Amino acid sequence: MAEGDTGGIRSGGAAQGDAFSKREKANEDFYVRDQEMQKLRALKKKIEEHKKHLEELEKNVSDTMAQGGKK
């Protein structure tokens, strides 16, 4: 077969295809990692909000108990 015929090897051969595949996989991995990091940041923010809310509730309970003892 001559170069360019059906089934012929492209210039660059398998190494060029491997480089493209590796780059594509790296881009996909980066995207997935970035999405996971965004989700983790959102979860951390929610945790902090819930901690603040718990602190407020604990303070309210303490205040209520303190007022109940004075009456």
* Single pTM value for the model: 0.59
Per-residue pLDDT of the chain (71 residues), as tens digits, is 556 566 655 555 555 678 889 999 999 999 999 999 999 999 999 999 999 999 999 999 999 999 986 65
For residues 3-40, b (16+ Cβ closer than 10 Å) or e, as one string? eeeeeeeeeeeeeeeeeeeeeeeeeeeeeeeeeeeeee
